[in-house]
Chains A and B, each alone.
Chain A
Amino acid sequence: MLQQNPPLRRLLPIALGGLLVAVLVVASLAVLLYDPSGEAGNRLPENFQYDLSAFQKIDPALIRYRQAAEIPLELKQPRGIAAGREDQILVAGDRAVLIFDSHGKKISQIDLADEPRCLAVAGQDHAVPGRIYVGLKDRLAVFDAADAPPKTWETRGLKAFFTSVAPAEHDVFVADAGNKIVWRYDVQGKLLGRIGDPGPDGNIPPFIVPSPYFDVAVSPDGLLRAVNPGRFQIEAFTFDGFLEQTWGLPGLEISRFCGCCNPSALAVLPDGRIVTGEKGIARVKVYNAEGKFQCVVVGPDVLTPTPAAVAESRDEHRLLPVDLAADRQGRILVLDPAARRVRIFVEK
């Protein structure tokens, strides 16, 4: 056939050559367009993306506190903060307790034999005023004065995971996230009772503590305030363990508690108002004693961990939630472990 058709025979090599060149061009284009570097992003549809940025914005009108000062900390892992009898600022972390005066000048330091997890200072009304309680993982170390040798109270066992201490007049309450219970001690370290058990009627819900963030505080109305993070609630107990009050709702809305177990920190102002700290979307807020949302102290724009902090927390996947304390002047002390500093907030 081809022999009988000379023009076609002449055209064939040209056509073939053209085809081959075209194929080469297409192949080179494909190679050039092929981008294995991943810089184009995951190219997944919208519903596969996770984005919290919309929830991180806070209406500035709600923020009624301003940062008055901050104290940089030379601690790798600051864990707890407390306000002293004369408004000193105490920070625990890295086997030490640092003591600053109310202006942030370092006064002294207590060295510890073990990692501290939480910290409290007894007020004027306590049986031993000014006593420093340092929660180690499973026991309390008690310092009657900054330079006194510590007394160590008995351990609560392997499962114990102390996350908060709250001294009252004759009692000391310790939140134990491992056992999901609040222990009540007398000032000598004798165990008096447990808070968080179902009670005689079985109507007290248990503490749901999915992660080692479980905070308690004693409020001026003589009740023990405890966070129930799994229920997104603040609960108020009598010292004998009767549940008096609960409030709090889950949700991203500013008046609610976000995430899957929040709030992670709690403090009580001298006038009885309650300061809460959340992890995930880091925000510190103030509620009145009945649980009505009042204002925001500081939001994620300030408290979101810096990259360096994220890196160092990665191994243990610690979210680095804030710890809170309030002093006699009503200042709110925020321990920002991500930034390794104490931020002091006063009302605008």
Chain B
Amino acid sequence: MDNPPTTPNRRRFLATALRAAGALGLGGLTAGLAAKRGRTGEYVWQLDPQKCIACGNCATYCVLDESAVKCVHSFAMCGYCDLCTGYFPPEPIEQRTGAENQLCPTGAIQRAFIEDPYFEYRILRDRCIGCGKCVKGCSAFGNGSLYLQVQHDRCLNCNECAIAVACPSQAFRRVPADDPYLLKVRGKQA
């Protein structure tokens, strides 16, 4: 180097100053954001059933081949009808449980007799793909006890949720991970 001998020193000093400023700045940024945060824990994606229009995008836009969104059932809201429009198509061929009579294209709803005249409907999670067809059927005539929710055992919690981007009603939002569902009925008998 044929620079004057002061230059490297000055340069070194400048670099050190910049480094210190950078480190302090970043530390400050992190600390500031931490202070601003105010609560611990992470955030996860969830969809607001009040905004959801059961368009079916959840089934196809999730980055997972089998969507993380599935139908859930708030049993306390259900009417336990014999002729359930979430289970049977609007004009059922026959009021039996055969696949040809079911609304769900994947046969993911299980119907069980409880006592006269009530039937209970449960979602078979492994079969549900989150298309929301039953949600539409239930809310068109019934109590709206079937609705979609992000299932957190499946959700990868992508930084940008692909379904949230594709959601026409902007129903997705981040919720605290320790309270990760927006259920229609809260509490024990949900």
Enumerate chain A interface residues (CB-CB to B < 8 A).
Answer: 36-38, 41-45, 47-50, 52, 55, 206, 208, 210-211, 230-232, 250-252, 258-262, 279-280, 314-315, 317, 319
Asked if B133 is at the interface of the complex by the 8 Å CB criterion, the answer is yes
Report whether A38 and B85 are in contact in the complex, using a CB–CB cutoff of 8 Å: no
Q: How far is the CB of B68 from chain A (nearest CB, A)?
A: 16
Report whether A48 and B59 are in contact in the complex, using a CB–CB cutoff of 8 Å: yes
The residues of A that contact B61 with a CB separation of less than 8 Å are 36, 38
The residues of B that contact A43 with a CB separation of less than 8 Å are 60
Please judge, given known A-B contacts A47-B105, A230-B81, whether A260 and B142 are in contact too, CB under 8 Å: yes
Asked if B166 is at the interface of the complex by the 8 Å CB criterion, the answer is yes
Q: How far is the CB of A229 from chain B (nearest CB, A)?
A: 9
The residues of A that contact B123 with a CB separation of less than 8 Å are none
Interface string of B81-101 (1 = CB under 8 A from A): 111110000110000000000
In the docked arrangement, what's the CA distance between A49 and B82, Å? 23
Report whether A50 and B136 are in contact in the complex, using a CB–CB cutoff of 8 Å: yes
Which 7 pairs, one residue from A and one from B, show the smallest C-beta to C-beta distance?
A210-B79, A38-B166, A42-B56, A259-B141, A317-B144, A280-B141, A50-B136
Residue of B nearest to A38 (CB): B166
Pick 28 A–B contacts, CB within 8 A, sort by A: A36-B162, A38-B57, A38-B168, A43-B60, A44-B59, A44-B131, A47-B105, A48-B56, A48-B105, A48-B133, A49-B133, A50-B133, A52-B90, A55-B90, A208-B81, A208-B117, A210-B79, A211-B79, A211-B142, A230-B79, A230-B81, A230-B82, A260-B83, A260-B142, A261-B81, A261-B142, A279-B141, A317-B184
Report whether A210 and B50 are in contact in the complex, using a CB–CB cutoff of 8 Å: no
Dominant SS among interface residues on chain A: loop
Please judge, given known A-B contacts A44-B59, A260-B81, A260-B84, whether A36 and B141 are in contact too, CB under 8 Å: no
Q: How far is the CB of B49 from chain A (nearest CB, A)?
A: 9
Asked if B148 is at the interface of the complex by the 8 Å CB criterion, the answer is no
Report whether B168 and A50 are in contact in the complex, using a CB–CB cutoff of 8 Å: no
Asked if B80 is at the interface of the complex by the 8 Å CB criterion, the answer is yes
**Interface size of B in residues (CB-CB distance below 8 Å):** 38
In the docked arrangement, what's the CA distance between A172 and B90, Å? 37
In the docked arrangement, what's the CA distance between A260 and B139, Å? 11
Please judge, given known A-B contacts A52-B140, A211-B143, A319-B141, whether A42 and B81 are in contact too, CB under 8 Å: no
Report whether B140 and A36 are in contact in the complex, using a CB–CB cutoff of 8 Å: no
Asked if B165 is at the interface of the complex by the 8 Å CB criterion, the answer is yes
The residues of A that contact B77 with a CB separation of less than 8 Å are 317
In the docked arrangement, what's the CA distance between A277 and B99, Å? 31
Report whether B142 and A210 are in contact in the complex, using a CB–CB cutoff of 8 Å: yes
The residues of A that contact B136 with a CB separation of less than 8 Å are 50
Residue of B nearest to A250 (CB): B83
Query: Which of A55, A210, A258 has the most chain B CB atoms closer than 10 A to its own CB?
Result: A210
The residues of B that contact A317 with a CB separation of less than 8 Å are 77, 139, 143-144, 184
Residue of A nearest to B61 (CB): A38
Q: How far is the CB of A338 from chain B (nearest CB, A)?
A: 14
The residues of A that contact B143 with a CB separation of less than 8 Å are 210-211, 317
The residues of B that contact A319 with a CB separation of less than 8 Å are 141
Q: How far is the CB of B111 from chain A (nearest CB, A)?
A: 13
Asked if B55 is at the interface of the complex by the 8 Å CB criterion, the answer is yes
Report whether A251 and B105 are in contact in the complex, using a CB–CB cutoff of 8 Å: no
Query: Which of B61, B80, B83, B139 has the most chain A CB atoms closer than 10 A to its own CB?
Result: B83
Interface string of B18-53 (1 = CB under 8 A from A): 000000000000000000000000000000001000
Please judge, given known A-B contacts A38-B165, A211-B142, A315-B50, whether A258 and B90 are in contact too, CB under 8 Å: yes
Query: Which of A252, A259, A315 has the most chain B CB atoms closer than 10 A to its own CB?
Result: A259
Q: How far is the CB of B63 from chain A (nearest CB, A)?
A: 10
The residues of B that contact A42 with a CB separation of less than 8 Å are 55-57, 59-60, 131
Q: How far is the CB of B104 from chain A (nearest CB, A)?
A: 9
Q: How far is the CB of B91 from chain A (nearest CB, A)?
A: 5
In the docked arrangement, what's the CA distance between A208 and B119, Å? 12
Q: How far is the CB of B115 from chain A (nearest CB, A)?
A: 11
In the docked arrangement, what's the CA distance between A314 and B50, Å? 6
In the docked arrangement, what's the CA distance between A231 and B140, Å? 18
In the docked arrangement, what's the CA distance between A45 and B60, Å? 11
The residues of B that contact A280 with a CB separation of less than 8 Å are 85, 140-141
The residues of B that contact A36 with a CB separation of less than 8 Å are 61, 162, 165-166
Report whether B131 and A48 are in contact in the complex, using a CB–CB cutoff of 8 Å: yes
Report whether A44 and B60 are in contact in the complex, using a CB–CB cutoff of 8 Å: yes
Report whether B90 and A252 are in contact in the complex, using a CB–CB cutoff of 8 Å: yes
In the docked arrangement, what's the CA distance between A224 and B136, Å? 35
Query: Which of A45, A55, A261 has the most chain B CB atoms closer than 10 A to its own CB?
Result: A261
Q: How far is the CB of A311 from chain B (nearest CB, A)?
A: 9
Q: How far is the CB of A295 from chain B (nearest CB, A)?
A: 22
In the docked arrangement, what's the CA distance between A182 and B11, Å? 92
